[in-house]
A = this chain, B = another copy of it.
């Protein structure tokens, strides 16, 4: 299965979860997601997701200068974002449980 399709609808959740730990800028979020196990996540997907979440009012944003490269656009959760994280996490957990149920019923191969 192409694991990119699995991310559909879940990348938002993953990004929110990472930002809930601590604020981060795009490049940093990409690295943290990859370290967490989402190795195939594309950078453009993360930047796109951040922009989308920000536009939706779930994130705050501030720019910080950097010693080792261009400026960094940091993002952090606001109340809307935390709400979205909580409800998305609940939805995901329920969905994953349903899928686990479906899978465990199959005949042993």
Contact = CB atoms under 8 A, between A and B. Distances in A.
Interface residues on A, range: 35 or more
Contacts of A13: 1, 99, 103
- Grouping DSSP codes into helix (H, G, I), strand (E, B) and loop, the A interface class, with mixed when no group exceeds half, is helix
Contacts of A10: 5-6, 99
Contact of A9 (B8, B20, B94, B106): B8
Residue among A3, A36, A102, A107 with the highest chain B CB neighbour number at 10 A: A102
- Copies of this chain in the oligomer: 2
Interface in A55-109: 82, 84-89, 91-96, 98-103, 105-107, 109
Contacts of A99: 10, 13-14, 92, 96
A10 B6 CA distance: 7
Instruction: Please list the 9 inter-chain residue pairs (A to B) with the smallest Cβ-Cβ separation, ordered nearest first.
Output: A5-B9, A8-B8, A37-B98, A1-B88, A20-B106, A1-B91, A6-B9, A17-B102, A96-B96
